[in-house]
Amino acid sequence: MGQEKILLEHTPAARKVLAAYLAVSGTVLLLMMTLGLLMRLAQGSLVSLPADRFYESLTVHGTGMVGVAGMGGAAILWYFLGRHVRLNVPVLAINLVAFIVGAALILGAAFIGGFAAGWTFLFPLPANSLGQWSEHAAAMHLSGLLLIGTGFLLFHLDTGRAILSKYGSLARALGWPYLFGRSDETPPAVIVASTMVLIVNTLGLVSGATVLAISLVNLYLPGFAIDPLLAKNLIYFFGHVFINITIYMAIIAAYELLPLYTNRPWKVNRPFLVAWTAATVLVLVAYPHHLLMDFNMPRWLLLVGQISSYISGLPILVVTGYGALMIVFRSGMRWTTTTALIMVGVFGWSSGVIPAIIDATIMVNTVMHNTLWVPGHFHTYLLLGQIALVLAFMAHFSQGADWSKVRLNAWGFWLFLIGGLALTQSFLYSGKQGVPRRFAEYLPDWVGGAQVGALAALMVVTGTGVLFAAYLLKLPRVMRAS
């Protein structure tokens, strides 16, 4: 079995755009985390936040964080994929500009226009605000989202063009000839992962753009409508796919960086290829687990959602979790900020699946749906999994050629990890106690969990701030050297 070596080096222009991706992602991340802290403080009765401001913050935090995760994941994917196939730097830059303009529109729609319909923008809520916001504010939010989605679509189309021009077909890029015994050459892990991401996210983005365009027209022409259940399916298909894919992009950092730090190869073998092919299908068909409480959904679709949820996370999890432990075991790897955060990321991914699978069971969802159990599930995945991987990549990127000599940024790392664990556990525990999600005002019994969460959030914000400051401080030297 053979694997190709790194073929291309990044140009200074590409490195600059990637550095800007990480700088923008880090800035927006800290801003969104501060909004999260504010919401937890308000739920814990430690600060007073009027209900309209709470829901504006919730909308911006939910949408903005998903965008940040996407940008961080895209930077990781591009950096490693671009060492094997020829990617287009202007397309990378266009996606960044679309994100910045889109994010500004979303911020303006909420904090100037009062838009507060949540990241889900469920049809026909954007057009029915009962005076809370105007149709222009709703249009601003929806256009911002559409712009960001279009940027990502271009990004994926470019990766698709580059992969196809080298590998000829998506099947080859997924390693099928090797899988079916017709070749003894496997594509590198980053090619397999990027191909899965390309297929899945393109479908998700097209579905999102469709419903966004219809909702936009509906704001001004109410007669132009869509069946609300169909709209909900399109929205959740898009949202589910987009956010899931951010972690599939970020995990590439583990595949590419652990070999560097352990001096051992990441093996692309049959189980690895089977897992990524299975995930390509399973991530797409698992989305109905968001609609388990919609009584008018076809029952068979909900069963597909439940069953595919059980199997969707597991294959890749097993190959990645097991692969990460095996590559590190007795390798003499040093604990730097990068390696420590990668292992946290793999842990966050592995543990996030447990509350997820519990809640994807229809019987359990009857009780747990819309409780804080759900933010408990996805903050574990996203904060301890996805964001940890992005921060790991940031640390590596900013160390340039010195990567092997750098030490652990202990304050940043431990504050992030301990705060992250406490925050996610406070969500999960409150969810187990039946505390609802998305409530601006809490009953006295619910306040304790929120206060613990607020303290934990403060630790996460501080830890992330320390890690991001280290990135910014090291950046100029690395950029000069490139």
Q: Given the rule CB under 6 A, which residues bind ligand HEM?
A: 33, 36-37, 39-40, 58, 61-62, 65-66, 68-69, 118-119, 243-244, 246-247, 289-290, 309, 312-313, 353, 356-357, 359-360, 365, 369, 374-375, 377-379, 381-383, 386-387, 423, 437-438, 457, 460-461
Nearer to ligand HEM, 89 or 192 (CB): 192
Nearer to ligand HEM, 204 or 313 (CB): 313
> Is residue 37 within 8 Å of residue 90, measured between CB atoms?
no
Nearer to ligand HEM, 156 or 289 (CB): 289
Measured from the CB of residue 269, what is the shortest distance to ligand HEM in angstroms?
Answer: 22
Nearer to ligand HEM, 66 or 470 (CB): 66
Tokens found for residue 404: 């092997």
DSSP state letters, 81-134: HTTTS---HHHHHHHHHHHHHHHHHHHHHHHTT---STTTT-TTGGG--TTSS-
Measured from the CB of residue 235, what is the shortest distance to ligand HEM in angstroms?
Answer: 10
Measured from the CB of residue 337, what is the shortest distance to ligand HEM in angstroms?
Answer: 18
For the chain, the C-alpha Rg in angstroms (whole number) is: 22
Tokens found for residue 163: 């992969």
Where are the strands (E) in 76-126, listed by range?
A: none
Listed as own residue / partner, the contacts of 350-357 with beta carbons closer than 8 Å and 24 or more positions apart are: 350/317, 350/321, 351/380, 351/384, 352/377, 352/378, 352/380, 352/381, 352/382, 352/384, 352/385, 353/313, 353/314, 353/317, 353/381, 355/380, 355/428, 356/309, 356/313, 356/381, 357/309, 357/310, 357/313
Tokens found for residue 446: 């619910």
> Is residue 348 within 8 Å of residue 380, measured between CB atoms?
yes
Measured from the CB of residue 95, what is the shortest distance to ligand HEM in angstroms?
Answer: 18
Q: Is 186 helix (H, G, I), strand (E, B) or coil?
A: coil
Burial class (CB in 10 A: 0-12, 13-18, 19+), 473: exposed
Measured from the CB of residue 448, what is the shortest distance to ligand HEM in angstroms?
Answer: 15
Measured from the CB of residue 308, what is the shortest distance to ligand HEM in angstroms?
Answer: 8
Nearer to ligand HEM, 151 or 465 (CB): 465
Nearer to ligand HEM, 188 or 420 (CB): 420
Tokens found for residue 407: 């030490």
Measured from the CB of residue 199, what is the shortest distance to ligand HEM in angstroms?
Answer: 16
Nearer to ligand HEM, 231 or 333 (CB): 231
Measured from the CB of residue 441, what is the shortest distance to ligand HEM in angstroms?
Answer: 11
Nearer to ligand HEM, 19 or 58 (CB): 58
Tokens found for residue 259: 């070999």
Q: Using CA atoms, how far apart are residues 29 and 391, in angstroms rounded to an integer? A: 11
Measured from the CB of residue 144, what is the shortest distance to ligand HEM in angstroms?
Answer: 16
Task: State the DSSP H helix or E strand holding residue 458, giving kind and residue range, or none if neither.
Answer: helix 447-481
Q: What are phi and psi of 352, to 5 degrees?
A: -60, -25
> Is residue 4 within 8 Å of residue 188, measured between CB atoms?
yes
Measured from the CB of residue 388, what is the shortest distance to ligand HEM in angstroms?
Answer: 10
Tokens found for residue 299: 């029952």
Nearer to ligand HEM, 167 or 248 (CB): 248
Q: Using CA atoms, how far apart are residues 15 and 17, in angstroms rounded to an integer? A: 6
Nearer to ligand HEM, 83 or 437 (CB): 437
> Is residue 144 within 8 Å of residue 106, measured between CB atoms?
yes
